[in-house]
Structure 1
Amino acid sequence: MNSNPEIKTLLQKFVLNQCTPEETNEVIAYYKKNQLTDDFPTVEDIQNLLAEMPKMEKQKADDIFANILKTSKEEETVIELPSRKSNYRKYISIAASVIVLLGIGFFYKQNMSNKAVEPKFDFKSSDIVLQLENGEVQVISEHNSAQVKDAKGNIVGNQNGDKLVYESNSDSEKLIYNTIKIPYGKKFRLQLSDGTFVHLNSGTTLKYPVKFISGENRQVFLDGEAFFDVAKDKKHPFIVNADELNVRVLGTHFNVSNYPEDALTDVVLVEGSVGMYESSQEFDAAKNTILKPGFKGSFNKENAKISTKAVITDIYTSWIDGGLTFRNMTFKNIITKLERRYNVAIVNKNEKLASEKFNASFKEESIENVMSYFNEIHGINYTIKNNQILIK
């Protein structure tokens, strides 16, 4: 197999569908030039390699091989794709000479295995957890104070109570990430190295650089819900990645809700301006959705469509001060959010309720008061014992 590190890097990008058009042409040219040389893997070589690899996502395999066929139409040999139900190995069996697989096996294996060994965070625990770049885990108590250090022992942040502040004078010249995980029943505040302030809701994970680097976008990665007060910096856009959605700003106040049970990722703009676009695309102010203050943008996770509408922003940011709001939400989703907010276990024996939708708003109320409301207004019967709620 080819040992040229440049072509291996290029092939890695291609199989991940990250190549520019020019790089794609370079891959195709290499394929055409080398397909009959000893440099190529055999079907057996590739299948042996795949035996040690996780399966590639079906849609990604479809896209890659469709690109190969589209570019190779001028060739006399015609390769027919199998049905979309076919798995990755069947693609290989009919397109064994496609070199996009060259050198990427162990790249995939290493990256996927690293993800596999990462311990799964128990959001129902009582601990706020900070995971450092080297994998070390630090438990944060909102009743105490602590220092956050880098791999060299330098202090990069200070935690006091429910707030963690990162230093702006760190001498790091490369992006080093920390990840903070907020359990059910708790909230936390975070000040990033650029002065951006973040409120983190319960059941939320945020991955962020210890220090933002000059010349690079300020990008963080969110699962859950957070309110961002972004420090202004015209030279360095601030980007919140919420899975398949990117939210791009220069300096503003906005809320992002990206919980797994929700069909929509919601962005509510309080002040400033934000752009919403798919994370697989480049930002284009002329084409992407630009929110104005007082509007909510909703990204549909199923079809990647973005819709906007005017809203009362206080409703969607009330959680910062202990509020709780449900808008046209199924009772099944409400249960999930109540479990997250109060760190309780809820069992619903009334199956008819699951798909019914409700509107409700609460200030800082106990779970007992919230359930009492549903009983009085909607006739929902329940019992509470210890940390468990049974809906009859």
Structure 2
Amino acid sequence: MKPMISQSELEELAYKYQIGTITAAEKLLLDEWYGAHDDSFFYHSDERGIVQHRMWNDIRNAISKKRKLKLWPKLVAAACIVLISGVALYFTSKDKVSSETIFTGTLKDINPGSNKAILVLSDGKRIDLTTSNGGNIAYQSGTEIKKLNGGTLEYTSSNSEIKKAGTGFNTIETPVGGEYKLILPDGSMIWLNSSSSLRYPVSFDNRETREVELKGEAYFEIAKNPSHPFIVRSRTQKITVLGTHFNVNSYDDEPETNTALLEGAISLFNGSISKKLEPGERSVNNGKDIKITKANLSQDIAWKNGYFEFQETDLKTVMRQISRWYGLRVSYSGKMPTKRFTGKIGRELKLSSALKILRYFEVNFTVSDNDIYINN
């Protein structure tokens, strides 16, 4: 008799198994669930699609006892693919199809990223925010710069001094495997993802606009000030806002610049092209045109919330995100699989756990120090 596990419990157990946080008791429960199938269910590696189909049917039958599914099958599959890909780790360990993480060299594993950044002052001085003490770390143009707990840099200005001194520009840079939060003098908050940089005025006083320059990815919560628009410049576009929440992904190694809007409204410009975004929409800018699509907001800001989220994502796109967070150089050989992955991975995991996602793609890989070699 199969253990009685609800849909939500089964999905949670499978996800924990996938990311390596499952407890011994939880693993036993999951193993018992799979143990209810006879051996023929697992051993036919050349019938992987049939196995997954039967796994899905079993899950669906269990769910249907609780409530009738009304979702379009493709959406249901997308909602449960975390479960399917997670339990696939269990079944591949039996059918010998899975690829194994092979660590060579002196480094046995790689820790996840953390709060790391470099602050470049207007005079060129560089301050390592990772190792510097908390509290006041600099004072420029009447503005106090303070390092707070939890990877946060805060600017507080004195208007009277700024009027006398004027303002310069600072730049905050996150390395691979780094992220940082910035609070500007106007109260706007910006979260910077790994391998990114933001250039901004020390103060916005005496300026008609609040203008910053982004390389990489950042999430913005902009303080409202109708008389002083906030402008974000990146490699292919300019964004103008009055006060809103949005995410911009503008890495040089990504084929497009993606902007997702959570609330408020923003205007985007690329040469003579201009578009407006409404909440829940995403713009895709390839440098020649800007297209507006429906956003998957949880996916767009997943990095800020501590995990990777993929929706029908190809292997190389997955690995670009993984490599930035763990500081990897990725090399490919052979024809890469065309299948796409949907699921979530916690960003707090060590590399060996995060790379379990590659089992889904059925590729072989070797990690040597900070290099990963993927072949098919």
What does residue 317 of structure 1 align with?
301
For the Cα contact (< 8 Å) 1:261–1:333, is it kept in 2?
A: no
Match of 1:248 among 240, 246, 256: 240
Shift in Å, 1:150: 4.0
What does residue 282 of structure 2 align with?
296
- Asked whether 1:156 is paired with 2:144, we answer yes
The equivalences for 1:1-392 within 5 A come to 128-141=117-130, 144-150=133-139, 156-161=144-149, 162-170=151-159, 171-173=161-163, 174-278=166-270, 280=271, 288-301=274-287, 303=288, 305-327=289-311, 329-348=313-332, 350-353=333-336, 356=338, 358-365=340-347, 366=349, 367-375=351-359, 377-392=360-375
Q: Cα distance 1:234–1:126, how it changes in 2: closer, same or farther (>3 A)? A: closer
For the Cα contact (< 8 Å) 2:135–2:147, is it kept in 1?
A: yes
For the Cα contact (< 8 Å) 1:201–1:320, is it kept in 2?
A: yes
Shift in Å, 1:205: 0.4
User: RMSD between aligned alpha carbons?
Assistant: 2.6
Q: Secondary structure at the match of 1:255?
A: strand
What does residue 64 of structure 1 align with?
none
Distance of 1:344 and 1:267 partners within structure 2 = 25
For 2:276, give the aligned amino acid.
I
Shift in Å, 1:149: 2.4
Q: Cα distance 1:268–1:357, how it changes in 2: closer, same or farther (>3 A)? A: farther
Shift in Å, 1:308: 0.5
Shift in Å, 1:336: 2.8
Shift in Å, 1:380: 1.4
Give me the identity figure in percent.
28
Paired residue total: 257
For the Cα contact (< 8 Å) 2:245–2:263, is it kept in 1?
A: yes
With the length of structure 2 as denominator, give the TM-score of the two structures. 0.63
Shift in Å, 1:155: 5.3
For the Cα contact (< 8 Å) 2:314–2:341, is it kept in 1?
A: no
For the Cα contact (< 8 Å) 2:196–2:217, is it kept in 1?
A: yes
Distance of 1:219 and 1:163 partners within structure 2 = 20
What does residue 57 of structure 1 align with?
none
For 2:343, give the aligned amino acid.
S
For 1:288, give the aligned amino acid.
S
Question: Which 10-residue stretch deviates more, 241-250 or 137-146?
Answer: 137-146
What does residue 24 of structure 1 align with?
none
Shift in Å, 1:382: 1.6
Q: Deviations over 1:277-303 (max 9, x none)?
A: 12x56xxxxx831111000011112x2
Distance of 2:130 and 2:207 partners within structure 1 = 35
What does residue 94 of structure 1 align with?
none
Distance of 1:179 and 1:261 partners within structure 2 = 21
For the Cα contact (< 8 Å) 1:148–1:155, is it kept in 2?
A: no
Distance of 1:323 and 1:259 partners within structure 2 = 18
For the Cα contact (< 8 Å) 1:318–1:324, is it kept in 2?
A: yes
Shift in Å, 1:206: 0.3
For 1:289, give the aligned amino acid.
K
Distance of 2:370 and 2:295 partners within structure 1 = 35
Q: Cα distance 1:168–1:361, how it changes in 2: closer, same or farther (>3 A)? A: farther
For the Cα contact (< 8 Å) 1:142–1:160, is it kept in 2?
A: no
Distance of 1:364 and 1:314 partners within structure 2 = 14
For 2:340, give the aligned amino acid.
F
Q: Deviations over 1:184-211 (max 9, x none)?
A: 1121100001000001100000001110
For 1:390, give the aligned amino acid.
Y
For the Cα contact (< 8 Å) 1:295–1:311, is it kept in 2?
A: yes
Higher relative contact order (CA 8 A, sep 6+): 2
For 2:147, give the aligned amino acid.
Q
Distance of 2:212 and 2:180 partners within structure 1 = 16
Distance of 1:379 and 1:143 partners within structure 2 = 43
Q: Cα distance 1:176–1:228, how it changes in 2: closer, same or farther (>3 A)? A: same
Q: Secondary structure at the match of 1:236?
A: coil
Distance of 1:233 and 1:391 partners within structure 2 = 49
For the Cα contact (< 8 Å) 1:187–1:199, is it kept in 2?
A: yes
For 1:293, give the aligned amino acid.
P
Distance of 2:222 and 2:210 partners within structure 1 = 10
